[in-house]
Amino acid sequence: MALDRLLTWLLARADTGARLLVILGAAMMAAVVSAQVVMRYVFNGSFDWADVVSRIAFVWTIFLAIPLGIRDGTHVGIELLVARLPTGLRHLVARITSGLAAIMMAVVFWVSVIVALATWSERLGAIDMTSSVFFFPVILGALHLAHLALFPAEPRA
């Protein structure tokens, strides 16, 4: 029971950190893209790194936000058929789909780790950073989603 509470506490802190990173990533995207537009149309120049940085922020924002949306129940779902099923069958369908989602996220996690390791030595052109930086949020998001699929939580209000 104490392990369950510790895990719940750690995941709550991870959710808070992910939310802050999503906010920071969205703000960074808006600032970098806005600065790039001003540079191009006002000063007839550009930042070499703006495209890469805005893409990194976009990927991190999206893949860290997906598990938060699932946990909060804010993603779109089609329940036309499932809502008409008896309660027991509805729970069975939910368990099966959660199990399939957990398996899929485990595969995404594993393949992302393999690709991140394979591309570790590749550098991004405009900034001296590994191109694997695009796979880190996919790895983290897949782990988070696999946990949510195995241990679904009630959506937060």
Q: What range does the domain containing 89 cover?
A: 2-150
pLDDT of residue 97: 82
Instruction: Judge whether 88 lies within some domain.
Output: yes
- How many C-alpha atoms does 12 have within 13 Å on its Cβ side? 7
Instruction: Judge whether 43 lies within some domain.
Output: yes
Instruction: Judge whether 157 lies within some domain.
Output: no
Number of structural domains in the chain: 1
Instruction: Judge whether 155 lies within some domain.
Output: no
pLDDT of residue 154: 55
Cβ atoms of 81 and 94 closer than 8 Å:
no
Instruction: Judge whether 63 lies within some domain.
Output: yes
Output phi, psi for 130, to 5 deg: -65, 145
Instruction: Judge whether 58 lies within some domain.
Output: yes
List, in order, residues 6 or more apart from 18 with CB less than 8 Å away. Answer: 64, 65, 67, 68, 140, 144
Residue 85 CA: distances (Å) to CA of 78, 92, 93, 153, 154: 13, 10, 9, 22, 20
pLDDT mean for each 10 residues of the chain (157 residues): 76 85 93 92 88 90 87 74 86 84 88 92 85 88 81 55
Instruction: Judge whether 156 lies within some domain.
Output: no
Rounded Cα distance, 30 and 103, in Å: 35
pTM passes above 0.85: no
Instruction: Judge whether 26 lies within some domain.
Output: yes
**Digit-coded pLDDT (tens) for 41-76:** 998 888 888 888 999 999 999 989 988 887 777 767
pLDDT of residue 156: 46
Rounded Cα distance, 68 and 157, in Å: 13
pLDDT of residue 66: 86
